Amino acid sequence: MTDVQRSLVLVKPDGVRRGLSGEVLRRIEAKGYTLAAVELRTATPEILAEHYAEHEGKPFYGPLVEFMLSGPVLAVVIEGQRCIEGFRSLAGATDPTAAAPGTIRGDLGRDWGLAVQQNLVHGSDSEESAAREIGIWFTEL
Ligand code: RTP
Ligand code: MG
């Protein structure tokens, strides 16, 4: 019985700016997941309103959207056995200061005083979110 999933991963603007896109892709591939789609994209307010709909109204929402518009993001669809949970493990805790060593955020995330926001990557958190988010970023998939 296989449980092959797809997940939406974003290398956020801080990761692209710092030249870490390749390092994130390397870790995804080293784990054994395949890349189903990869595209450098500049987000729009419309895309982000959909992508972050669950956070609308929270205090960090406005700054988060502004940050996500500050430069291109690498949008990636990954595929593999239980890759939704698996990528969240690779990414580590939301706050890079608290994220474990060995994780993307724990190894590479820096505390800029905005650490919880500039945490390098996004990964879908459920099968429902993954399907919804892949549809937002890759209308052709
Ligand atoms: P992501 O969605 O990016 O994979 O991260 P996550 O599930 O670990 O975190 P989530 O709760 O979904 O929050 C989405 C993103 O919003 C920013 N954030 N800032 N307190 C804050 O200032 C705060 N909390 C969250 C982060 O960029 C987080 O990844
Ligand atoms: Mg999330």
Over residues 75-134, the pLDDT tens digits come to 999 999 999 999 999 999 999 999 999 999 999 998 878 768 899 999 999 999 999 999
Q: For residue 128, is it within any domain?
A: no
Q: For residue 139, is it within any domain?
A: no
| Ligand 1 pocket mutation, candidates 94, 122, 124, 126, criterion most atoms within 8 A of CB | 94
Q: For residue 92, is it within any domain?
A: yes
Q: For residue 133, is it within any domain?
A: no
Q: For residue 135, is it within any domain?
A: no
Closest ligand 1 atom number to CA of residue 88: 4
Identify the pLDDT of residue 117. 85
Higher pLDDT, 46 or 141: 46
Closest ligand 1 atom number to CA of residue 118: 27
Query: What is the Å distance from ligand 2's center to 81 Cα?
Result: 20
Average pLDDT of 28-32? 98
CATH number at residue 33: 3.30.70.141
Nearest ligand to the C-alpha atom of residue 94: 1
Nearest ligand to the C-alpha atom of residue 87: 1
Rounded alpha-carbon distances, angstroms, from residue 95 to 23, 42, 106: 19, 24, 9
CB atoms within 10 A of CB 104: 25
Q: For residue 140, is it within any domain?
A: no
Rounded alpha-carbon distances, angstroms, from residue 79 to 13, 43, 55, 64, 82: 23, 22, 26, 27, 9
Question: What is the ipTM score, two decimals?
Answer: 0.92
**Domain carrying residue 30:** 4-123
The rounded mean pLDDT for the chain is 96
| Pair 31, 90: CB distance under 8 Å | yes
Q: For residue 132, is it within any domain?
A: no
pLDDT greater than 70 at residue 1: no
User: Structurally, how many domains does the chain consist of?
Assistant: 1
Query: What is the Å distance from ligand 1's center to 59 Cα?
Result: 12
